[in-house]
Amino acid sequence: MNDTPRHWKPLVEQHHEDFYPAHPKLVQTTAEHYGISHEEALAWLNEEHAKARYFTNNLYQVQVASCGKEGTMLHLNIRRRDGGMFKDWRHFQQIKNEIAGPECEAVEIYPAESRKVDTTNKWHLWVLPPGVKLDLGWGQRDVSYDENRDGPPGLRQRPL
């Protein structure tokens, strides 16, 4: 069964130096935020960007970095290329599948206010190592891609 959302274009890996040059405003903001020089901020940003992998398609840019103890998890930093705020769950599932694999699980966290980060229109998924399953959610697959516009409001499905 093909679970790829319609109109989806596969993600393509990009080389970070070609794709993510440090924007002057980002360098300035980073320098001011951390109280460091422009040169130190630029060097730090370039070093951090070099540690990550980047993927794009027509809709999204995804920065992928190792995280967690011993780097066994992945952090997917996702943004729409047009800067928009709308997100589609099926798209995020596809992004997770293409980057980490269809049998890996990922979480999106709504943190305590003391740990909240909300500076740009980005979303973050943390992908668990292969084989590690969360002890929450459903135990088996239950999927319907049939369009259902006649059901009660709130219980409708759109086609894949």
> Amino acid identity, residue 115?
R
- Gap between the Cα atoms of 105 and 132, Å rounded: 7
Q: Quick check: helix, strand or coil at residue 92?
A: helix
User: Which of 89, 45, 44, 83 is closest to 61 using CA atoms?
Assistant: 83
- The domains of the chain, with CATH numbers, are 14-51 (no CATH), 54-131 (3.30.1360)
Nearest to 144 by CA among 160, 123, 124: 160
Contacts of 56 (CB under 8 A, 6+ apart): 11, 12, 14, 19, 62, 81
Question: How confident is the model at residue 50, as a pLDDT?
Answer: 83
pLDDT at 135: 80
Provide the pLDDT for residue 159: 65
Mean pLDDT across the stretch 70-82? 93
- Residue 95 pLDDT class (50, 70, 90 cuts): very high
User: How far is Cα 12 from Cα 28, in angstroms, rounded to an integer?
Assistant: 30
Q: What angle do CA 151, 152, 155 make, to 5 degrees?
A: 80
Higher pLDDT, 20 or 51: 51
Mean pLDDT of the region 7-30: 82
pLDDT band, residue 132 (cuts 50/70/90): very high
pLDDT at 146 over 90: no
Round to whole Å and give the CA distance between 57 and 80: 10
Alpha helices in the chain (DSSP H): 16-19, 24-34, 38-51, 89-100
- The CB density around residue 55, as the number of other CB atoms within 10 Å, is 20
Q: What is the pLDDT of residue 147?
A: 67
Mean pLDDT of 10-14: 94
The answer to whether residue 14 scores a pLDDT higher than 70 is: yes
Among the residue ranges 9-13, 47-51, 63-67, 140-144, the one predicted with the least confidence is 140-144
pLDDT of amino acid 21 = 64
Q: What are phi and psi of 120, to 5 degrees?
A: -145, 170
The pLDDT, as a whole number, for residue 68 is: 86
